[in-house]
Amino acid sequence: MHTKGDSCCCSFEDYKLTTEWLMNQTSIRPKVAVICGSGLGLLADGVSHKQTFRYQDIPNFPVSTVPGHEGCLVFGTIQNTPCVFMQGRFHLYEGYSLCQVTFPVRIFKLMGVESVLVTNASGGICPDFKVGDIMLIKDHINLPGFAGQHPLCGPNDERFGIRFPCMSDAYSKELRAVAMDVGSDLGCGGFIREGVYCMVSGPNFETVAEARMLHILGCDSVGMSTVPEVTVAKHCGLRVVGLSLITNKVCLDYSSEEKVNHEEVLEIGKMRAGVLQKLVTTLISHCQQSINTH
């Protein structure tokens, strides 16, 4: 776990207390967790038997501080599958430790979640990507992790996972194939891509030189989240599928006058909301079906 000062900022007792509090508040026992990225909290709109808890009311939970992150945990069912949605996530640039950023993932594990669906808004680096494309994440590059900002640093708790987890299969190949098929069935094949996501710590958008470096490294999109949650989910033995909405083109040209801003990111989220909701809903159903057949 991530350490802060002389002690771990998130103890197993903290995780247990929060889990017990939630399980006493709701009868829903989620099998699928969905982490909603910037402007994508509306993915929880299709939930039946909805119960909503504000982050500030949940013991030990951090609080979202970024526009487009509502800051609510939503429990309910999607096509008879019990789910939990995070309407808003936490980021390094907000001043949170990676232990706090990933705190909800371990709560989900203790509640019985088996699959995690992560979504985010990201900047497109691949020249073939267009604004509004949906990228299935096939792999990631953890730049903060290279610099020692890693959610598994510090003492390892074997109750969650092994000391040295394998990340070569971080994103489920089976669920990616399902997502491609679902996207094709929904008529979205023309704007569903597959690629490598790179995490930077933010909060500034990338310089041209940084963007060019990421392109050379093989990154197709870049954002400021997701990788810590995916890493901890894999450490906990959970299956992961990732969807990245391309909300802007990352500038690779010094002569360009275009400048990205957070408001435009949120607008693109609204534009693709319907398609993403259908995709997420169908994926949740497939997650449960595939769990039931194993």
Q: Which residues are catalytic?
A: 38, 69, 91, 93-94, 121, 224-225, 248, 262
Over the range 33-47, which residues count as b (16 or more CB within 10 Å of their CB) and which as e? bbbbbbbbbbbbebb
Euclidean distance between CA atoms 205 and 101, whole angstroms: 20
Tell me the H-state helices in 137-190.
143-146, 173-185
- Residue 50, CA atoms < 13 Å, CB-side half-sphere: 13
SS3 174: helix
Continuous segment of H or E residues that includes residue 4: strand 3-4
Euclidean distance between CA atoms 117 and 244, whole angstroms: 11
What does the DSSP 8-state code read for residue 225? S
List, as one string, the DSSP characters of 40-105.
-GGGGGG-EEEEEEEGGGSTT-----STT---EEEEEEETTEEEEEEES---GGGT--HHHHTHHH
E-strand ranges in 105-237 read 115-124, 134-142, 192-199, 221-223
Euclidean distance between CA atoms 118 and 224, whole angstroms: 13
Give Cα 58 distance to the centre of its chain.
Answer: 20
Euclidean distance between CA atoms 8 and 101, whole angstroms: 14
Euclidean distance between CA atoms 44 and 30, whole angstroms: 14
